[in-house]
Structure 1
Amino acid sequence: MAVFVLDKQKRPLMPCTEKRARLLLERGRAVVVRLAPFTIRLKDRIGGAIQPLRLKLDPGSRVTGLALVRESEICDPETGAVERLEHGLWFGELAHRGQAIREALEQRRHYRRARRARKTRYRAARFLNRTRRAGWLPPSLQHRLDTTVNWVERLRRLAPISALSQERVSFDTQALQNPEISGVEYQQGELAGYEVREYLLEKWNRRCAYCGARAVALEIEHIVPRARGGSDRVSNLTLACRPCNVSKGHQPIETFLKGRPALLHQIQAQAQAPLKDAAAVNATRWALFNALNATGLPVETGSGGRTKFNRTRLDIPKTHALDAACVGTVDQVRDWNRPVLAIRATGRGAYSRTLTFNNGFPRGYLMREKRIHGFQTGDWVRAEVPKGKKAGVHVGRVAIRRTGSFNVQTPGGTVEGLSHRYCRVLQRADGYGYAFQPKPDTEDARRAA
């Protein structure tokens, strides 16, 4: 994974290799600024040569893929065509906490309803004075937009990014439901069929709708056969393995599943239900596109079908980060098999001062102080315990206590009851948790695709 580099005046320079960063630190020419993403600052240099860098995003409802690539051009000796070559420098996967926000708001709504129900005096209804500003998004989706834009700005402060690429729509639901719409690029030529197939794979959980088989070749199957008037609309399509597809043939689904009424009802209901993840992505695609345009950098967009086409053509396994590297116009991608920084949005705590039982009554009070002995929950610390049962070096996120006895969450588990005297801050809490994922397993990732 490339190391971000800042000059003496904290302006971004070209990322360097881990080996070069280690030599600069050993020779005293640089200091560490951040551990995740790992960043150093040079002591004896101002400015430097800049090469074109592009930050590519694959927005998802739960995880957003990030890929920082260096662009160059090569000439094909046979055809003479100029191709865009991308070198992978840094990859990240940003996990959102939209579901946690939704659950917290739902709990708050129950608390408010119970509190108002306990009051016996009459109060006039106030629901008519609630208005929403233009461009309003639900808090769970607004969080997804804000965290994505936040990381774009963070990476711009760490690297001289000159262009952005965004997968603006994973699935164009209007075009999927109306295949006769013309003028859409992926409906023509070599991209035809990629959008529909990828949508169905996500909607039907990558398994046969009839027998539930996984990790087998799946075929697109018409619920109402075309021979009986069925259409090509996505609401009439599902996935089936070859034996089930042949066995069903031109039979109506009611006849084929005559002895399994529960499965028949499930398939009919799931066929009409929209894909929630696609709806969440589509709800924020234009807001994210406008926010990226506001940065002043050129923004390239692409569809989910083009992303999958690029990934399949280049024989790259499927992960969120590598999907981001395949967004937009891609001719070749090199150095993509790198570790990935997993970024998890954890929040910055809660306003509530108590924990509650299921019925809403308090069951304990939380600390009023945010910091104890200079530490706060979420800090990345290094604890060096000299003796005892917990002797050793423990590195991870800390959870503070008023007594000064802290818990440190390490990759191997949680170490409880460490004194604050043994702890040293490596990186302050910033609302995110970090973990380093190894290089993707090529065979497993390709089977999942």
Structure 2
Amino acid sequence: MRTIVFMLSFMLFTILSGASTKDNQNQGNSIPLMGTRFLTFNAVIRVNQIEVARDKNVGEDERDLHTPSVVIKFREAINAGFPGAKITWAFSWLALHDTTSNYRKIRELVVGYQSKYGDEITFIPGAYFANAYNPTEQVNKDLHDGLAKVSEIVGNGYRPKSVVAGFLSAKNQDYLAKNEGIHVCQGNIWSQYAIDNQDGDGAVTYPFYPSKEHFCKPAQGKDDFVDCVNLDGWTTDFLAARREGFKDGFNSRMGVGPIETLSKYGLDLGLKEMLHTTAIHFDRGFELNGFAWVTNCWEVSLPIDVTGLTNWLSEIKKRWPDVKFITQGEFGLIWRKHYRDNSFNYRFEEIGSGIGGSDADKEIRWFMNKVFRLALLSDLNKDNSETVIDFTRYDLPAKEPSEMTRRWSLMGDINQKQTRPQDKPVLLKQLPEEMKTIIKTIYPKLFPIQ
């Protein structure tokens, strides 16, 4: 009799636990895009720093940096700062297949987090730079086999809602949508240029559907439409991001990322910059766009005090208590439900923090839509100083590299990095008439009647 009672109790517990987990995982489905502040977070677990192919590495071996205790401490730091948060875990090819005790236990831990918190588990091909080292078909094969391995490890028919990729070509994102049924991909690192192993400046910083021509170009219509929501990798400070790599001693990737903030400036000043970048979106950006999104990516192997992570999340929870901290797959699908095409019109405004390349005497304004992106930079100490530092048209033909290379940027008429003679900033009124006409069709108020 006791055995029967125990079995019935266990079955009831299993059913209720499963229902609770299912409810937690489906919570994001009912969240509206507009009127919401979103936070997403990707955690990368790998074996080698840059696993360029299944059997080739070009970075440092990170095996000793990945232990179950490190993963536990990392996840606890997130929950301590933002209880109820759901994050996305991205495993590299080797991390999915490594048979050593540590990696077996790490995979078990993360599967447990998927059940306990509703976390997402997915695959990262090539450790950020798949297309720089592999042909398109090989990347497709890696995506197929990697995702299948994720499903096998998690079990119960699990399938991730998204993929983490760093950069991923339009052809590969099209494959994800059509062949794998995945419609969300972290497929561009906004403004990245002259840092790490691949360039990819030229895209829109908030979600968009990529064109079949180039992953940085928003689709212009049905004929070039890729049904995969293309997401940025981590939110950067717009003023820092306009710089070329490490030029003038600054880091163009500074924003919410831990390497450029906590590691560079310490827990206090680093946190100040992280919150400054966060506020660009959760304050003024929310007013301008009707919703806001901040995203971060953290390699679990980083030797950075996770107290900084807890502090950042705690401050977000305190300043913006309405923030929805969900997986990137859930967020991408919420955006996809609201936008069935590239009818977005994003605007951002920032005055610098005074930290690093975020000049305190500068103001930057960004305008992003499916036809073009436009950036205007002002010197706060000078009147009438606003100049165009970026004008990238998306209504023109584009083409991705046919060879394996680091050069995947989509450079427009004027590019924010100022690496070419034509990138010299100019006054808005000095632009050619054709450019001004295009801008006026969407933002006529930028050209006041004289």
TM-score range, shorter chain: under 0.3
Greater strand proportion = 1
Provide the TM-score with structure 2 as the length reference.
0.21
Larger gyration radius, structure 1 or structure 2: 1
Provide the TM-score with structure 1 as the length reference.
0.21
